[in-house]
């Protein structure tokens, strides 16, 4: 610890000797009481733990924002992978080792692999159920085994009540089936749908539903197959049809695809931006910005902190319309939010790359926000008021920012002291 100011040479030598004699602890305690009093009246606390936390928060958050901005100004978009021209039809990923050896390709998805679908009778939802009352047992054969389930039909149950009881029993059995009751409000009718989550034509994926006691299956029509199980069919570069019992397929050269929908149009697979990397950097930017904004906005007793919050809002406000086009908005507290669907669309159209890289670090949103956060990181004292010290200490505050060292310059009782921690 170094103390200077308002002292002559004898005083300095005496202080030095005292420190060398191991009495520095006494000075530490005195300075600690000056800077961190524990019995201050409300609103009079000197530099508190909260104040120290605020300083640490804005410095680390602003550094993180600046780092994300630097990545988005170019580096994040230079990392390429193989991408699909239509993610609604097919998504792709690259797991190979050398992207430069992979050529563009076109893929035509004729059909995707699907599981068996049973759709029951459409019944008047609120009408009194006319089937057997009491315990109704039925069995489902799928995945190479047969499982018995049961429901209890009460005298006052409606058609929809019984359909829902069957759906609940099927879902709770963990058979790889998804049962739902589809209701049509226009006709006030409902039907039971049972779909296998196991896709492809393998025999084990067949589903059979039949009554054991009672007639719940026959009454609801749960055994009626409306779509047979099917394999995926697709073509690469106009070649022969390929068949797969899974929608996860290998296109070759380290390119894997997940088929999502059939389409009359070919999907192009080519080099493009790695959306997972860019989304990660954007999420880091949003998270760090929110940390910085919250630290400043919530420090209502410091005018410089409030000034920082205002400057952040001014920067984002100037680009709010463009940010919204990317799916980046703001909630009622001023924090950034991301609309995933809109962001993905903006990524596919190239809007995200254009927005963040246009003008690099010299122009645009990244440059404006980066200049501000660089300033906060490098000149933290400009964003902290002396009022943070309360009424017990008056004067100026400075932040040295060297590693963990924090230097405070305070004017107290007409004498200047520098405290170095």
Q: What is the CATH number of the domain that holds 142?
A: 2.60.40
pLDDT of residue 399: 40
pLDDT at 376: 93
In-domain check, residue 405: no
CA distance 199 to 358: 45
Residue 382 maps to a domain: yes
Residues 178 and 211 in one domain: yes
Domain identity same for 190 and 173:
yes
Same domain, 108 and 139: no
Domain-embedded: residue 51: yes
Same-domain check for residues 97 and 238: yes
Domain end call among 217, 251, 273: 273
Task: Tell me if 353 is assigned to some domain.
Answer: yes
Matching residue, tokens 């680390």: 60
Looking at residue 420, its pLDDT comes to 29
Residue 12 lies in a domain: no
- Same domain assignment for residues 102 and 246: yes
pLDDT at 31: 37
Q: Do 289 and 359 fall into the same domain?
A: yes
Same-domain check for residues 290 and 384: yes
Q: Does the model's pTM come out above 0.75? A: no
Domain that holds residue 102: 80-113+231-273
pLDDT given for residue 47 in this prediction: 55
Is residue 406 domain-resident? no
Instruction: Kindly state whether residues 93 and 151 are assigned to the same domain.
Output: no
Domain boundary among 243, 273, 303: 273
The answer on 124 and 170 residing in a single domain is yes
Q: How high is the pLDDT of residue 54? A: 85
Statement to judge: residues 342 and 193 lie in one domain: no
In whole angstroms, give the CA distance from residue 339 to residue 142: 40
Q: Which residues of the chain have pLDDT under 70?
A: 1-48, 359-363, 386-421
Q: 174 lies in a domain?
A: yes
Write down the pLDDT at residue 268: 95
One domain for residues 166 and 141: yes
The answer to whether residues 176 and 202 belong to one domain is: yes
> Considering the domain boundaries, does residue 402 fall inside one?
no
Q: How many domains does the chain have?
A: 3
């Amino acid at each position: 610890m170094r103390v200077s100011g308002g002292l002559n040479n004898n005083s300095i030598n005496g202080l030095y000797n005292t420190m060398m004699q191991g009495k520095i602890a006494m000075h530490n305690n005195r300075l600690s009481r000056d800077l961190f009093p524990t019995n201050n009246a409300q609103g009079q606390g000197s530099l508190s733990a909260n104040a120290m936390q605020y300083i640490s928060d804005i410095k680390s958050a602003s550094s993180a924002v600046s780092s994300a901005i630097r990545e988005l100004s170019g580096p994040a978009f230079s990392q390429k992978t193989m991408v699909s021209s239509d993610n609604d039809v097919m998504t792709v990923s690259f797991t190979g080792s050398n992207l430069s050896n992979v050529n563009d390709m076109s893929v035509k998805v004729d059909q995707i692999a699907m599981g068996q679908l049973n759709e029951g009778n459409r019944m008047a939802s609120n009408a009194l159920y006319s089937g057997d009352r009491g315990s109704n047992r039925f069995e489902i054969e799928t995945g190479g085994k047969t499982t018995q389930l049961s429901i209890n039909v009460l005298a006052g149950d409606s058609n929809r009540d019984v359909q829902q009881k069957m759906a609940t029993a099927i879902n709770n059995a963990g058979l790889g089936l998804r049962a739902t009751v589809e209701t049509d409000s226009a006709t006030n009718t409902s039907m039971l749908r049972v779909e296998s989550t196991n896709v492809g034509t393998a025999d084990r994926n067949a589903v059979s539903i039949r009554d054991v006691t009672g007639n719940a299956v026959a009454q609801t029509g749960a055994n009626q197959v409306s779509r047979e199980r099917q394999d995926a069919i697709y073509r690469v570069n106009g070649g022969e049809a390929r068949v797969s019992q899974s929608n996860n397929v290998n296109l070759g050269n380290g390119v894997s695809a997940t088929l999502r929908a059939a389409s009359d149009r070919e999907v192009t697979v080519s080099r493009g931006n790695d959306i997972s990397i860019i989304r990660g950097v954007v999420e880091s930017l949003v998270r760090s910005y929110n940390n910085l904004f919250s630290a400043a906005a919530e420090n209502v007793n410091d005018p410089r902190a409030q000034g920082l919050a205002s400057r952040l809002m001014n920067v984002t406000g100037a680009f709010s319309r463009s940010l919204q086009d990317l799916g980046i908005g703001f909630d009622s507290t001023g924090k950034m939010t991301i609309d995933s669907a809109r962001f993905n669309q903006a990524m596919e159209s190239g809007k995200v790359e254009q927005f963040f890289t246009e003008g690099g670090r010299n122009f645009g949103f990244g440059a404006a926000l980066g200049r501000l956060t660089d300033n906060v990181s490098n000149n933290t004292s400009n964003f902290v008021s002396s009022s943070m010290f309360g009424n017990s200490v008056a004067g100026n505050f400075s932040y040295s920012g060297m590693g963990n060292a924090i230097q405070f310059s305070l004017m107290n009782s007409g004498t200047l002291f520098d405290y170095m921690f």
